[in-house]
Amino acid sequence: MQYSSGTRRRLLLVAVSELVVTNMGYELQYMDLRARGEPVRWLLKVLKLPYTEQRIDVFTQWPLRKNDFHFKVTPVLVVDGEQLHQTTVICRYLGKKHQLASLDLWTATRQEEIMEAFHDISYYVGSALVARALGNEELAKSNAEKVKERLPVVLQNIEVRVSEEGWILSPEKTWVDVAVAAYLDIYRDILGTTLLEDYPRTKALFEAVTGLPPIAAWLDVRPPLHKFEDPEGLF
Ligand SMILES: N[C@@H](CCC(=O)N[C@@H](CS)C(=O)NCC(=O)O)C(=O)O
């Protein structure tokens, strides 16, 4: 196909700006926790994207840093100098931009149901951890109970969506598989490594993602759980 010189110039500009952004890399700004940071980290690693990370101590630094963020929460992905908020939005952006996304709108939308179902539960995880940190054991326990009650519903919904090829509603791996595996890893920490025994397809998906070289390498070197999110005795 023949392009006019104007179109060629525009295409070149787009290519150069993409290259500049890619080379500048991304910056992840998050607390020194796994939680909502981990799906973003896993995706950056699976996509082999250069990135740096600012880890903010949840107890000592966060109160001083909160106002630095447009929505006063993290994770934030800094893209070309701009803050991007919301875990699902960040993951979807990375997946779509770097070709790790289902192209069909309905498929992609149904995959995202799983992400949001995890986020519903993570509200209770967060509330349990905060209640414990504030010394309210009763509230901590009642939130932990909600987690145990609701997680199997999500696992069952993943199980029936895993394709023959092993990915959620897709013959190929997408960003949702990577993010879901990162959350499954967190829930295995919380509720025990036998969590997926009754969900063989989900377990296989988890093992496929954790077996990817960049994730296997990360699991070897990542920082230990911060004491704020240590589940010991809570669930
Ligand atoms: N819907 C947001 C929620 C972000 C959020 O609540 N982040 C927590 C940490 S996981 C936070 O920054 N909390 C600090 C605060 O509320 O002061 C997302 O998915 O990114």
Q: Confirm whether 126 is domain-assigned.
A: yes
Residue showing tokens 């109970």: 145
- Ligand 1, atom 2, lies closest to the CA of 86
- SS3 string, 55-86, reads EECCCCCHHHHHHHCCCCCCCEEEECCEEEEC
Half-sphere exposure of 84 (CA within 13 A, CB side): 17
95 or 18, which is more confident? 95
- Ligand 1, atom 15, lies closest to the CA of 73
Residue at a domain's end among 66, 97, 128:
97
- Ligand 1, atom 1, lies closest to the CA of 86
- The 8-class DSSP code of residue 171 comes to S
**What is the 11 CA–ligand 1 centroid distance (Å)?**
38
Average confidence score pLDDT of the chain: 93
Whole-number Å distance between alpha carbons of 93 and 100 = 10
**What is the 85 CA–ligand 1 centroid distance (Å)?**
9
Q: Are 80 and 143 in the same domain?
A: no
Length of the chain: 235
Q: Are 118 and 89 in the same domain?
A: no
pTM of the model: 0.91
Instruction: Look at residue 16 in the predicted model and tell me its pLDDT.
Output: 47
* Nearest atom (ligand 1) to Cα of 37: 10
Q: Evaluate if residue 194 carries a pLDDT over 60.
A: yes
Residue at a domain's end among 97, 126, 141:
97
Q: How many domains does the chain have?
A: 2
Instruction: Look at residue 38 in the predicted model and tell me its pLDDT.
Output: 98
Q: Evaluate if residue 74 carries a pLDDT over 50.
A: yes
Residue at a domain's end among 97, 120, 139:
97
Whole-number Å distance between alpha carbons of 63 and 80 = 26
Separation of CA 114 from chain center: 12
26: Cβ contacts below 8 Å, ≥ 6 apart: 44, 49, 50, 51, 52, 77, 78, 79
Q: Confirm whether 43 is domain-assigned.
A: yes
- The 8-class DSSP code of residue 53 comes to E
Residue type, 144: A
* Nearest atom (ligand 1) to Cα of 88: 19
Range of the domain at 122: 105-212
Instruction: Look at residue 37 in the predicted model and tell me its pLDDT.
Output: 98
Q: Are 111 and 42 in the same domain?
A: no
At 38, which CATH number?
3.40.30.10
